[in-house]
Structure 1
Amino acid sequence: MELRTLEYFVAVAEEGSFTKAAARCHVVQPAISQQIQGLEKELGEPLFERLPRQVVLTSGGAALLPHARSCLAAAAAAALEFADRSGLLSGSLALGTVGGLEGTYIPRLLGEYHRRYPGVSVSLTGASSPSLLTKVRDGGIDAAVVASPPEGLPASVGSRVLLEDRIVAVLPAGSRAANRPLRLHEAARSPVISYGPDSGVHAFIRDAFAAKALRLDIAYATNDVALQVALVAEGVGIALTSHASPVLAADPRFVVVPLEPAIRLRKVFVWRLGPQLGAPLRTILDLWTELSDGPTLAGATT
């Protein structure tokens, strides 16, 4: 069982097509098919069910997939380890981010990482916290900044706290004193502008309303904080949004007030735990420690 064959197998599994897998691996389709047939013969059972328009994993293929990914990851980590030892770090780093991070030290972290390790190809994916957390857990991306879910993080990921955040209410200017908290039952009586159900922040607001036996009806659901407050300025309703967003800087069009009771959450940097971290991920964690004076590390294997 060769690494190249496992690479072809994973490509077919992820693409659902021999043709797409061949294009991804920069080989002709017969080469992919021949390698997969040889692997099936070696293992003694079919790995794919060939359908008219796609191929899908059999039970045997599904059993092999995590092992194949682990083997490929271990081989890549070994190669990067020795590249790192020679001072020529290369490879790739796939990161996910939620919105509202421009006011944190994430841009500085990525800027410094780019300057120190120009040989590493860094890609960013923007999405909601639940989606990104799933991608990290399943190995789709290396790490991500997410809102830590109310039920806690899965045991399979490590984490570092980026910031402590809270939800605040944004109201039209002149409608309320900035030092006068807004109670949740008051918020429930107004058209609410806030995050959609696909957002990790939504769960915190939903649970806080439920704890007070209040129904959360979001009239205007958007994860774009700038749009949320723009709608407030137009008199559409009140926004329940992240206090950490730089969009909430002093603006004469609206007033920002605390909620009562407070709704608190954390933004965290998460990555998938394993026997050994790849060199690009390990170096960004080391740089995080250097730039942030060593924040608390949860569940690390480094």
Structure 2
Amino acid sequence: MELRTLEYFVAVAEERSFTKAAVRCHVVQPAISQQIQALEKELGEPLFERLPRQVVLTSGGAALLPHARACLAAAASAVLEFADRSGLLGGSFALGTVGGLEGTVIPRLLGEYHRRYPQVAVSLIGASSPSLLAKVRDGEIDAAVVAGPPDGEPAVVTSRVLLEDRIVAVLPAGGRPANRPMTFDEAVRSPVISYGPDSGVHAFIRAAFAAKGLRLDIAYATNDVALQVALVAERIGIALTSHASPVLAADPRFVVVPVEPAIRLRKVFVWRQGTRPSAPLRAFLDLWTELSGRGELSEPASRDEAGTGAATGG
């Protein structure tokens, strides 16, 4: 029993026609018929019932079909595996990205990935977290970096934590000592500058205030953290934003203070569950594991320690 014969068998079963199967497999129709007849002789029973306008599987054919598909899938997987090992990996890798990944490990990973697998066509798709989650769920992109939803990622995706973060308040300079936290009650008494409803971070902030029975009205909504703090510098209001953003580095125009109670969030790397990841995605995940194991992917120090850090948005 040869793989090519099983390929012909699956094609006839799915097309319900020897002629259409021949077109699909790029061979002449008699070649398909001869291979199927030989397979039926080898197995000792007919696999198809030949009707005037189509062919249908017999009980024997129906029993063989899942095994044939599994054999073909295993062979294809083996080819991809050895293509990876030989450095001949090709194809495409579509990665969704939210804003503010310049200070995370993602650029380092993509750089090494490009050097190892130059034949892979990498495309970056920028969008909000909810939109990217939907694209991963629907199979439109291979993976994405998103703000993890407050109630967890959908069951249809697998995730790996990229970054732990928290929300801080940014106020005009001179209005408050940096070591004095801002409560939710104080925050709602000022015009608030924060993320828009299309941002995954927005949901974390809204949920935290709602849990305390407070309504949060965002006067100026933008997912651009640099613009948020520029508005703070103009004394329009206070910003509730990502602590990890590098634009919060020491600046005489504003002061950054903790928020109490803390609003914690995660940036996660997600991909679709239930299907075998594509070879380019598997290579990316394996590279991440390899470099992490060698200690080459340590996150930048937090802003408290080094004056900068990884950015979070979307």
Number of equivalences: 232
**Does residue 243 in structure 1 map to residue 243 in structure 2?**
yes
Query: Alpha-carbon deviation of 1:87?
Result: 2.5
Inter-partner Cα distance in structure 2 for 1:235 and 1:74: 62
Question: Cα deviations across residues 202-256 of structure 1 (Å, max 9, x unaligned)?
Answer: 0111011111111110000000001000100111110000111111111111111
- 1:140 is matched with which residue? 140
- 2:259 is matched with which residue? 259
After TM superposition, list the pairs within 5 Å mapping 1:145-160 onto structure 2. 145-160=145-160
- 2:225 is matched with which residue? 225
Question: Cα deviations across residues 253-286 of structure 1 (Å, max 9, x unaligned)?
Answer: 1111000000001111010123422110001001
Question: Cα deviations across residues 165-206 of structure 1 (Å, max 9, x unaligned)?
Answer: 000000011111101000011010100000001110001110
- 1:59 is matched with which residue? none
After TM superposition, list the pairs within 5 Å mapping 1:1-302 onto structure 2. 80-293=80-293
Check conservation: 1:101, 1:245, Cα contact below 8 A.
no
CA RMSD in angstroms, aligned pairs only: 2.6
Matched position secondary structure for 1:168 = strand
Aligned CA distance change for structure 1 residues 88 and 188 (closer, same or farther; 3 Å): same
Inter-partner Cα distance in structure 2 for 1:180 and 1:148: 28
Matched position secondary structure for 2:155 = coil
Question: Cα deviations across residues 28-84 of structure 1 (Å, max 9, x unaligned)?
Answer: xxxxxxxxxxxxx989xxxxxxxxxxxxxxxxxxxxxxxxxxxxx999867644532
Inter-partner Cα distance in structure 2 for 1:286 and 1:186: 46
TM-score computed with the length of structure 1 as normaliser: 0.71
- Give structure 1 regions of 4+ aligned residues with deviation exceeding 3 angstroms: 73-82
Aligned CA distance change for structure 1 residues 289 and 237 (closer, same or farther; 3 Å): same
Check conservation: 1:77, 1:278, Cα contact below 8 A.
no
Aligned CA distance change for structure 1 residues 77 and 185 (closer, same or farther; 3 Å): farther
The one-letter code sitting in structure 1 at the alignment partner of 2:229 is: V
Inter-partner Cα distance in structure 2 for 1:162 and 1:75: 33
TM-score computed with the length of structure 2 as normaliser: 0.68
Aligned CA distance change for structure 1 residues 257 and 81 (closer, same or farther; 3 Å): same
Query: Alpha-carbon deviation of 1:148?
Result: 0.7
Inter-partner Cα distance in structure 1 for 2:255 and 2:271: 37
The one-letter code sitting in structure 2 at the alignment partner of 1:212 is: K
Inter-partner Cα distance in structure 2 for 1:87 and 1:261: 50
Inter-partner Cα distance in structure 2 for 1:127 and 1:278: 22
Inter-partner Cα distance in structure 1 for 2:162 and 2:213: 31
Check conservation: 1:169, 1:241, Cα contact below 8 A.
yes
Inter-partner Cα distance in structure 2 for 1:205 and 1:294: 36
Matched position secondary structure for 1:256 = strand
Check conservation: 1:98, 1:129, Cα contact below 8 A.
yes
Structure 1 spans left out of the alignment, 5+ residues: 7-40, 44-72, 296-302
The one-letter code sitting in structure 1 at the alignment partner of 2:152 is: G
Question: Cα deviations across residues 147-168 of structure 1 (Å, max 9, x unaligned)?
Answer: 1101111122111111110000
Aligned CA distance change for structure 1 residues 74 and 263 (closer, same or farther; 3 Å): farther
Inter-partner Cα distance in structure 1 for 2:135 and 2:218: 27
Check conservation: 2:87, 2:116, Cα contact below 8 A.
no
Range 76-85 or range 105-114, more displaced = 76-85
Inter-partner Cα distance in structure 1 for 2:188 and 2:281: 43
Query: Alpha-carbon deviation of 1:292?
Result: 2.4
Based on CA coordinates, which of the two structures has the bigger radius of gyration?
2
Identity value in percent: 81
The one-letter code sitting in structure 2 at the alignment partner of 1:148 is: G
Inter-partner Cα distance in structure 2 for 1:179 and 1:77: 56
Structure 2 spans left out of the alignment, 5+ residues: 1-9, 16-52, 56-72, 296-314
Inter-partner Cα distance in structure 1 for 2:126 and 2:268: 15
Inter-partner Cα distance in structure 2 for 1:234 and 1:221: 15
The one-letter code sitting in structure 1 at the alignment partner of 2:234 is: E
Aligned CA distance change for structure 1 residues 294 and 282 (closer, same or farther; 3 Å): farther
Inter-partner Cα distance in structure 1 for 2:182 and 2:158: 35
Aligned CA distance change for structure 1 residues 75 and 193 (closer, same or farther; 3 Å): farther
